[in-house]
């Protein structure tokens, strides 16, 4: 293993998984939220769009009235 390959492998391991809108709705308790809150936060996202956890958390904060 070369030193150039090592950082790429670490980046791949740290990469956030992307899930579908419906999968995030099912994981609402992970955010301390109800399913309808996640659905409301993601209302403008198509069903086939992949989102990271950070994207969902940011949208949920905005939905709840945060900045």
In whole angstroms, how far apart are CA 20 and each of 10, 39, 44, 50, 55?
24, 12, 13, 5, 12
pLDDT value for 50: 96
More confident residue, 19 or 5: 19
Binned at pLDDT 50, 70 and 90, residue 2 comes out as low
Q: What is the pLDDT of residues 7-62, one digit of tens each?
A: 665 555 467 799 999 999 999 999 999 999 999 999 999 999 999 999 999 999 99
Instruction: Say what the alpha-carbon torsion angle 48, 36, 28, 20 is, to the nearest 10 degrees.
Output: 0
pLDDT value for 20: 96
Tokens of 60: 């949920």
């Amino acid at each position: 293993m070369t030193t150039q390959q090592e950082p790429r492998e670490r980046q791949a391991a740290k990469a956030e998984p992307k899930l579908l809108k419906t999968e995030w709705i099912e994981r609402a308790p992970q955010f301390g939220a109800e399913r309808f809150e996640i659905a409301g936060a993601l209302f403008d996202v198509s069903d086939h769009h992949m989102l990271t956890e950070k994207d969902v958390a940011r949208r949920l904060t905005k939905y709840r009235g945060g900045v």
